[in-house]
A and B are shown apart, each in its own frame.
Chain A
Amino acid sequence: MSRAPRSATAKRDWGADESGTSIMHVDMDAFFASCELARRPELRGLPVIVGGRERGVVLAATYEARAFGVRSAMSMASALRLCPQAVVVPPDHRLYQDVSRSIMELLGQITALVEQVSVDEAFLDVSGARRRLGPPTVIGARLRELVHARHGVTCSVGIAQNKFVAKLASTHAKPDGMLLVPADATVAFLRTLPVGALWGVGEKTEQALGRWGITSVAQLADTDVATLQAAVGKVAGAHLHDLAWGRDPRPVVPGRDERSIGAETTFAQDLWDLRAVEKHVLALADKVAARLRGQGLVGRTVAVKVRTSDFRTLTRSRTLNGPTDVGREIYLVSRELLAAADLRGLPVRLVGVRMENLSARAGLAEQPTLEEAASPRGEARREAELALDAVRQRFGSSSISLGARAEPRPTTEPDAAGLSWTR
């Protein structure tokens, strides 16, 4: 769900010249919520929020709910204060993944140049598909029809000369729309936007620019680079100036660039007992590992997030020697990270486990250690977790999970080969 600032004046017809605009940004509208509506049509027209009811956060909301001020990442409690009549639906990530995969396959039929940015968003370079399928607006319209017909969800399409403008175009096409920004209208289009609409301009940068009196993209474009660099730094200054003039040289890189996979739990009651928190960490590590395996990915960095009762959030991460998709490994590292976090003696409200630094497992070359080669316990462990995946596939995700009791403490106990390397 995009929270980027939009401009009412930008949402208009910018012309029909499609030469030089081959980059398309496809963004599902309120994706999780739309998926829920598609399978429960009786909810259509109602404010629907996807997220955990008990002390959870908003993952997605229908436009009816958004009209009340509900936004993603907002706590469920505040969302329900704004919109008490909302229907809260617990998330079903498997459904969203399935729909997403199917839509991405559809995109792959248009062109091989599909860059999946997240579960509900992708860039396409359709320059090679023009002769076969027609101009981008025709491709976009057909795609929107197909997605709606097959999955009952809507998407918005932005078409422009580069990724950055295409993304802005789709944002301004929402919901359920399409916007073409012709190459020669790019600068005019951008000049209608506030600086906050630009990629990479967050609250801090916005404030820094505001101190120089720069609040719109037009002002940004008219400011000389040196002044911008003085305001926000050398690299960012030059970059923003380029964006303000519609310059974005990044190509569409095929493949999905999932930056991280994580899961978190907010407890019904704050937990004092770290052992109890560890149990949740185990379940989360198990879940994250299963998702990694499901997508054929491995991660190299384990990050743990802990929020204490005073809402202070700590994040600790560690990069492993080699990438993994094994829940036990993720758990052992997560537990050490958790133990090392200074909670100031406060109970824990939320805990999360995330794998970053992801890469495809296929073709991955790994240098095992002598002890791993002597007793391939990691492999055996992975086999066991694959077996869990198979059981879950048949009997549901809660049918089986990693057990904690069999886990040794992460100390320097000699392993199966009798080798302890750490001290």
Chain B
Amino acid sequence: MKFRVERDVLADAVTWTARTLPTRPPAPVLAGVRIEADASGVIGLSSFDYEVSARSEIPAEVAEPGTVLVSGRLLAEISRALPHKPVDVTLEGTKVVVTCGASRFTLLTMPVEDYPTLPQMPELTGTVGGDALTHAVAQVSVAASRDETLPLLTGVRMEIEGERITLLATDRYRLALRELTWTPTTPGFSAVALVKARTLTDVAKSLGSGGGLVNVGLSTGNGLDLIGFEAGGRHTTSQLVDGDYPPVRRLFPDTKPIHAVVPTQALIDAARRVALVAERNTPIRLSFTDGQVVLDAGQGDDAQASEALEAVLVGEDITVAFNPQFLLDGLTALGTDFVRLSFTHPNKPVEFTGQESLDGDDSDTYRYLLVPIRFAG
């Protein structure tokens, strides 16, 4: 195997492909990136950990086709450190030699025949705008659980119904829902899939940030449930999380007798300031009265802070308390100028939605439901 490739192109592709490689792989070969040089002038780079696979293709001048397996992390670091000159990669015996300008690196290869076969990218089921996907996934994944003992809740549930995708995530304390539109290849296509939030976030960031379209392939019910994302010569597949997701949609309240509207950024800033005195596991209180909301935290002998903001309140006065981080997660995910908080009862979940003006209507494409902190009587 022998090929010449642009330094930036190589560094970018190797970094992307190697980004999900495990630090402690279950088998040594899984720490590798497989490089396939095709006589047609295409280099394929792949990584796989039996759950998530990544593959990218880049153009190169291929002198001799071939396939090798080398340490992904090392190759990524080397290619990023190389000078800005064309890079020559050559297999010499059992070693791969990387030369660039006056630099020369020799890497050990691993047995390609021991490397697992990558899953096929599932057939195209539709396309979605990259920016929309990135934004939507970021908004929902804040609510996903990071607790690996509840694998189901570390996932984002995707419900596809025709041209609408609904993303849902919850860690039991809050629940985020986001709707977005896409273009399915078959009209009326309907499916559900549970994807690891970590993987989905990573994919949405790395494939969606280009701003172009992302191809989505979903294959379920064939023994191996797989989702694939593809954009700009790169694709990632991920196994779906197995299990029955709890019916969380019903948790959104039907009636919301009280609601308040507050400028989002002002509320975020105030909450950050007041939260400074909130110790771990202590809440920040929001007291809504006509025309204002008072935030406060700390009590008794502890440090205390409070701040008042203008707010529109419709309905009775209400006071709720939140975990400061959970509150900030929801507020920062909104991305709108104003936030509407809808209440039923001080101990019942509060729904956060966004709206563009103080007296306008709220949008329900993104909803963040958060359970208030309860004080023991």
Interface residues of A (CB under 8 A from B): 298, 361-374, 376, 418-423
Contacts and interface: CB of A to CB of B under 8 A. Distances in A.
A373 B373 contact: no
Given A373-B349, A421-B152, A365 B172 contact: no
13 contacts: A362-B376, A363-B300, A365-B373, A365-B374, A365-B375, A365-B376, A368-B173, A368-B374, A369-B173, A369-B371, A370-B371, A372-B371, A418-B246
B71 interface: no
Given A422-B150, A423-B243, A370 B376 contact: no
B348 interface: yes
Nearest to B170: A370
B251 A370 contact: yes
B191 interface: no
Nearest to B251: A370
Given A370-B349, A373-B348, A365 B282 contact: yes
B76 interface: no
Interface of B: 150, 152-153, 170, 172-175, 243-244, 246-248, 251, 281-283, 299-300, 321, 323, 326, 347-349, 369, 371-376
A371 B348 CA distance: 10
Given A363-B300, A365-B283, A419-B247, A370 B369 contact: yes
B59 to A, nearest CB: 47
Among A298, A364, A366, A370, max chain B CB count under 10 A is at: A370
Contacts of A372: 371
A364 B376 contact: yes
A365 B251 contact: no
Contact of B376 (A366, A374, A376, A418): A366
Interchain residue pairs A-B with the least CB separation, the first 4: A369-B172, A364-B376, A419-B246, A373-B371
Contacts of B373: 365-368
B172 A421 contact: yes
A362 B373 CA distance: 14
Nearest to B369: A370
Given A363-B300, A365-B282, A370 B152 contact: no
Given A363-B300, A370-B172, A374-B251, 20 more contacts: A363-B299, A363-B375, A365-B373, A365-B375, A366-B374, A367-B281, A367-B323, A367-B326, A367-B371, A368-B347, A370-B175, A370-B371, A372-B371, A373-B371, A376-B347, A418-B246, A419-B246, A419-B247, A421-B150, A421-B153
Contacts of A376: 347
Contacts of B172: 369-371, 421
A373 B371 CA distance: 7
Among B173, B347, B376, max chain A CB count under 10 A is at: B376
Contacts of B283: 365
A366 B321 CA distance: 10
A255 to B, nearest CB: 12
A423 B175 contact: no
B376 A363 contact: yes
A367 B173 contact: yes
A363 B244 CA distance: 37
A372 B348 CA distance: 10
Contacts of B375: 363-366
Contacts of B300: 363
A418 B246 CA distance: 8
A418 B247 contact: yes
A377 B372 CA distance: 17
Nearest to B278: A365
Contacts of B347: 368, 373, 376
A84 B348 CA distance: 62
B282 A370 contact: no
Among B153, B173, B369, max chain A CB count under 10 A is at: B173
A264 to B, nearest CB: 28
Contacts of B374: 365-368
Contacts of B299: 363
A365 B377 CA distance: 10
Contacts of B372: 373
A369 B376 CA distance: 15
Contact of A368 (B152, B282, B371): B371
A420 B374 CA distance: 22
A366 B152 CA distance: 24
B118 to A, nearest CB: 29
B49 to A, nearest CB: 23
A289 to B, nearest CB: 15
B373 to A, nearest CB: 5
Contacts of B323: 367
Contacts of B321: 365
A419 to B, nearest CB: 4
B188 to A, nearest CB: 28
B371 A419 contact: no
Given A298-B376, A363-B299, A365-B283, A370 B247 contact: no
B63 to A, nearest CB: 53
Nearest to B149: A422
A422 B373 CA distance: 22
Given A363-B375, A366-B373, A419 B349 contact: no
B26 to A, nearest CB: 23
